[in-house]
Structure 1
Amino acid sequence: MIRASGLTVRRGSKVLLDQTEFVVHPGERVGFVGKNGAGKSTLFALLQHEIEADAGTLEVPQGWRMASVKQEIAASNDSAREFVIDGDTHLRALQHERRELSEALENEPERSEALGARIAELESELIEAGAWTSASRAEQLLAGLGFSPNQWSHPVDSFSGGWRMRLALARALMAPSELLLLDEPTNHLDLDAMLWLERWLGSYPGTVLLISHDTEFLDAVAQTILHFDQGKLNRYKGGYQDFVIQRSERLRQTKIAWERQTRETARLQGFIDRFKAKASKAKQAQSRVKALARMELLAPIHAESGIDIRIPSPEEMPDPLLVLDDMQAGYTNDQGVKIPILQNVRLMVRGGDRIGILGVNGAGKSTLVKTLAGELEVQAGSRNASRGLEVGYFAQHQLDMLDLESSPLQHLARIAPQTREQELRNYLGGFGFGGDRVMDKVAPMSGGEKARLALSLIVWQKPNLLLLDEPSNHLDVETREALTTALAEFGGSMLLVSHDRHLLRTTVDRFWIVADGSVQEFDGDLEDYRDWLAEHQANAKKQETSSNATIGAELTSADRKQQKRDEAQERQRTSALKKPIEAKLVKIEKELESIQNQLKTLDMVIADPDLYTDSRRQERVQTLAQHGELTKRHDELEEIWLELQSELESIGMNTNS
């Protein structure tokens, strides 16, 4: 096991870890949570011997191989596939030695006996190391993380920064290891790649240490939470939701910030009731109510965090705000040729709309948002904006536009020169820049702090339409929760692209889906989207199979007879492989149906406003706890179901090939 004893780490005058003790058991999947700067990444650096502790010990079992994601990728002309295989350093060392010995055998025939013996040993070691399956293993990782087959042979240098980080993640997963360190692995992933990574980690046999601000990802992956709190690491059993419940109860028992908690709970209850009355779609309303009800548990944590984001309400709200009529959107290349990404888009953004934008990576979500924001010109059709439209557009590139030598107060004073300094300070304090922090330079700030500042500058101007492209990237858990609350309360319209499922569930009422060059209304919630995605991918495979069949029609008569015999044998073999998996699927689907019926009953109880009165507090706690346990079991069964479906798919793919 991993064991820390009396572990102390300082950074300058700041004590990150103070006589900390904790253990991590073999095979455990542990999530680390805490504010930015608490010491999470420092702990990973200690484990990798990049820094030394000031006192105490941190022990990792001898012989454990450690894999982690490199944050910096050196320039390389190697293909993406070869770059990922390079993650298996043991395999590469064996291959290198095999090549050298082959060359020596040609040049030194007098040593043929000794060299031949070692080559024979190497061949056995290469088989054991999986040399002959390494390419297919790398391709499976690349496919899971969103790389199309035609990208596998592209050089590393041809990919953008976000895609390079995906390559670095695939390379880390390729490495044989007993200990896997993942620091914000979902920052550059879309929802589909994230779901794939959850399944992959679920089947990983080693120990996983995970830093993530994505609470649903933590819930899906982590079995234990270690929370950084005032220089100590406190252990909580279960995923992030379990941590929230246990920590909230601990804070309640110690009566930390009791008055602030009461005010926060009342404020949250107000918009829970408001949105329950307002929600228009049954399925999305249920999802929304559950997500908002969870926020009552977070009230004491909000009170302690010191971050209280408030987004000003817009001064006017035209309706509709934007009308898209046969719109074509895309980019113009260096030769001036228009490259369309989306075509024939006919949609409307109305006053008060709260829309989540779904779609696989590369489908055109960011293209759509940039076009709506006016950063990209419409290529054809029209984007008709109402008079009085005020857009607030947030994307990661806005962080690069901040003046690194200026302070948060200077940034805000430039756009509000007539406002009193104290009012600016009060406003920035809600975004976590309190006291003297408003005078700190931007340059040394973390990505999360820069994102907070950029967002504060955008919403100061009271937009009536917020366009948000991955706003929670780099934010710690407390800031994400504060942003979620603020967006849920926001009185204007909002379009949101995010891989943070909790954020989507809590803040949007409906979805648009971007796929196959178009944008359509999506009548469903995130669970429906997962099903849609599976069906969409299956249809794509069918089309590919149909195309292959057309090519096969040119076979000779003799070839066809042999092919039919081979296909019959393959069908028998495939059927034998599929039967036990299909039996398991039937059993799981029955249990899922039972749980879904129980959850529907609990949803009706949770949706009852009377449940949130003081007299039913004990019933509320029990109901939410039971709902949490059933939801957790439901998610576990879904993961198993997805894995079994993947096995069936794999059998089908092997049959087709």
Structure 2
Amino acid sequence: RLNLRIDQDDRIALLGRNGQGKSTLSKLLADRLVLMDGKMVRSSKLRIGYFAQHQVDELHLDETPLQHLQRERPEAAPPKLRAQLAGFGLMAAQAETEVGRLSGGQKARLSLLLATLDAPHMLILDEPTNHLDIESREALVEALTEYSGAVILVSHDMHLLSLVADRLWLVKDGTVKPYEDDLDAYRALLLTQDKPAKPEKAKAAAPKAPKPTRDQILALRSEVRKCEARVEKIEEMREKLAKKLADPALYEAARAGELDTWNKKYAEVMDGLHRAEALWEAALQKLETAETA
């Protein structure tokens, strides 16, 4: 039940709650899953780059980043490979360090490099910023802005989506459709209660759970509001930190320690934002279930 088209200059963000199928669609487009029905038409020369957060865990921990590239490009001279690594922020020291000793951000940079090694016409990124620090995030945004191919992006980072995406697709109820509104409207959409279709009555009906009381529903609504307020508060903190980290003076060599501290704070806030959004979605689900009981 999909009817979609992707053009070379498209920048598409996939929206949808957890478990609705954003990663499944990404894998389908990247040829990581077989098409079950219908048809997908594409150029025979199309090259696709695919990055998902779990790929960081598939790296060879006992090998160096340079060895990873040498496996993919055995004919390339080491200086050329080192230059490619440096372009992704992996300098001489990191190039010769075993992957198991690298930071999460450095592993993510290596995975991104491997995903783009063949100069793909379409780049599919599933939660690319989860392990990246603020400097790496900004570098990714800049690279995607300059990239001339199509981009399919899955991310909880609304800041990243607002800077990169110019089209939105909503993954919901087993299908995918263009979302004509903006990201702010999508946040509001999460608060709407979509009434699910009533299931057919089973022949041997199981005992019905007791219908939630009015007080219980009011408590659930209160929890939803608290979760929403928590998300908004953390989002405000993230915006303040982003402005702080946008100060060029912070990147002077003499303030490297201070920059490191702010990067860690930003990573902590992003982690908190992801958890708060997950709690918000869970609270919404509980409220919908109670109101339709």
Return the TM-score normalized by structure 1.
0.31
RMSD: 2.9
1:355 partner amino acid: I
The match for 1:390 is 47
The match for 1:501 is 158
SS at structure 1 position matched to 2:168: strand
| 2:156 is the counterpart of 1:539 | no
Tell me how far 1:476 sits from its aligned partner.
1.2
Tell me how far 1:515 sits from its aligned partner.
0.4
Tell me how far 1:653 sits from its aligned partner.
9.4
The match for 1:486 is 143
SS at structure 1 position matched to 2:124: strand
Match of 1:450 among 93, 97, 107: 107
SS at structure 2 position matched to 1:539: coil
2 CA distance for matches of 1:493 and 1:482? Answer: 18
Higher RCO (Cα < 8 Å, 6 or more apart): 2
Partners of 2:195 and 2:292 within 8 A in 1: no
The match for 1:625 is none
1 CA distance for matches of 2:33 and 2:165? Answer: 25
Tell me how far 1:387 sits from its aligned partner.
2.1
Tell me how far 1:529 sits from its aligned partner.
1.0
2 CA distance for matches of 1:654 and 1:379? Answer: 35
2:12 partner amino acid: I
- Summarize the alignment of residues 141-540 of structure 1 with structure 2, pairs less than 5 Å apart: 344-535=1-192, 538-540=193-195
C-alpha change, 1:654 and 1:382, in structure 2 (3 Å) is: closer
Q: Deviations over 1:508-545 (max 9, x none)?
A: 1111111011110111211121233323xx1327x67x
2 CA distance for matches of 1:489 and 1:424? Answer: 22
SS at structure 1 position matched to 2:8: coil
1:539 partner amino acid: D
Tell me how far 1:425 sits from its aligned partner.
1.3
Structure 1 segments (4+ residues) deviating >3 Å: 652-657
2 CA distance for matches of 1:351 and 1:362? Answer: 28
Partners of 2:15 and 2:169 within 8 A in 1: yes
SS at structure 2 position matched to 1:362: coil
- Summarize the alignment of residues 130-149 of structure 1 with structure 2, pairs less than 5 Å apart: none
Q: Deviations over 1:75-115 (max 9, x none)?
A: xxxxxxxxxxxxxxxxxxxxxxxxxxxxxxxxxxxxxxxxx
Highest CA radius of gyration, 1 or 2? 1
Unaligned runs of 5+ in 2: 206-212, 223-279
Aligned residues: 215
The structure carrying a bigger strand percent of its residues is 1
C-alpha change, 1:655 and 1:520, in structure 2 (3 Å) is: closer
- Summarize the alignment of residues 17-32 of structure 1 with structure 2, pairs less than 5 Å apart: none
Q: Deviations over 1:610-634 (max 9, x none)?
A: xxxxxxxxxxxxxxxxxxxxxxxxx
1 CA distance for matches of 2:73 and 2:110? Answer: 15
Unaligned runs of 5+ in 1: 1-343, 552-566, 582-642
C-alpha change, 1:495 and 1:654, in structure 2 (3 Å) is: closer
Tell me how far 1:441 sits from its aligned partner.
0.6
1:346 partner amino acid: N
Identity of aligned residues (%): 43
C-alpha change, 1:399 and 1:654, in structure 2 (3 Å) is: closer
Tell me how far 1:424 sits from its aligned partner.
1.7
Return the TM-score normalized by structure 2.
0.66
